[in-house]
């Protein structure tokens, strides 16, 4: 199966490229190959390369910057995926895109199911929600895979930030009232591959799905596990989100109910502690 991937150096795109040759052919497009601020160019890239499936692993993910750059975020997170989805629908090939827990209100304590009403509280969340709606309306074979707290050995993410700060400081204050499931980019990549393969023969499984690591935890507790596993003696003090204001509001409840994903594709929630072990090994932690 020839799979065209939008995104090249991001966390999930990097892990998708690593799967090239594992019974799939991955062609990942960098910015020079497909400008995400030009939706028509994204559709043209699909038509020119004639893949068997498309995965969109690219997005405007600068959550705080999006608050003052809403127009660009809208194009990259909504208009470009919409154009991709329409091009895939016209060719009758599967299209999978990665979305986010930020499409919810972030309230309450119950894990969100895909059918719950969306109520994004940030520009980033709103633009991703708009992209979801456009993809559904395109009418093709599709899966919107909402995930949360993506981590890997690549790019910028919470694990790498904690490793850096933990080595520099004896103590950190970390938000403890945001709860969610850290999710390894490698696990997301493998899930995307399994989903596109299924959609190729079972288009009726098209829909919105959730995928996040287990068990749910707080950022503060996640940091403690990171420091313990990496053997970094950095103390963590819990603080509320109100003590760490940001331009974009973060959801307090990022718990995702992933049962529909397991039922449709046989993909269960990965244990993020195993993902963390793999990431630390790649980054040569604990240090000798």
* Residues labelled catalytic: 124
DSSP state of 69: -
C-alpha to C-alpha distance for 19 and 121, rounded to whole angstroms:
35
For 238, residues 6+ apart whose C-beta sits below 8 A from its C-beta are 173, 174, 175, 176, 218, 220
Gap between the terminal Cα atoms of the chain: 42
C-alpha to C-alpha distance for 28 and 13, rounded to whole angstroms:
7
DSSP state of 68: G
Tokens encoding 147: 């995930």
Tokens encoding 247: 């331009």
């Amino acid at each position: 199966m020839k799979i065209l991937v939008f995104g090249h150096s991001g966390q999930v795109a990097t892990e998708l490229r690593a799967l090239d040759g594992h019974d799939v052919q991955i062609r990942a497009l960098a910015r020079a190959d497909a400008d995400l601020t030009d939706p028509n160019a994204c559709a043209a890239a699909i038509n020119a390369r004639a893949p068997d499936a498309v995965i969109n692993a690219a997005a405007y993910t600068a959550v705080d910057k999006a608050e003052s750059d809403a127009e660009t975020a809208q194009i990259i997170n909504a208009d470009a995926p919409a154009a991709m989805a329409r091009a895939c629908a016209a060719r009758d090939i599967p299209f999978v895109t990665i979305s986010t827990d930020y499409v919810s209100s972030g309230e309450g304590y119950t894990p969100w199911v895909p059918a719950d009403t969306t109520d994004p509280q940030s520009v980033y969340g709103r633009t991703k929600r708009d992209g979801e709606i456009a993809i559904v309306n395109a009418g093709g074979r599709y899966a919107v895979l909402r995930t949360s707290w993506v981590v890997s050995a690549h790019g910028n993410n919470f694990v790498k930030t904690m490793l850096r700060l933990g080595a520099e400081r004896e103590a950190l204050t970390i938000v403890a009232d945001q709860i969610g499931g850290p999710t390894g980019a490698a696990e997301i990549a493998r899930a995307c591959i399994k989903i596109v393969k299924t959609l190729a023969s079972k288009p009726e499984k098209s829909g919105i799905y959730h995928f996040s690591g287990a068990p749910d935890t707080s950022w503060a507790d996640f940091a403690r596990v990171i420091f313990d596993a990496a053997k970094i003696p950095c103390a963590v003090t819990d603080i509320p989100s109100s003590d760490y204001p940001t331009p974009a509001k973060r959801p307090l409840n990022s718990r995702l109910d992933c049962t529909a994903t397991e039922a449709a594709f046989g993909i269960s929630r990965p244990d993020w502690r195993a993902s963390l072990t793999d990431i630390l090994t790649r980054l040569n932690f604990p240090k000798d």
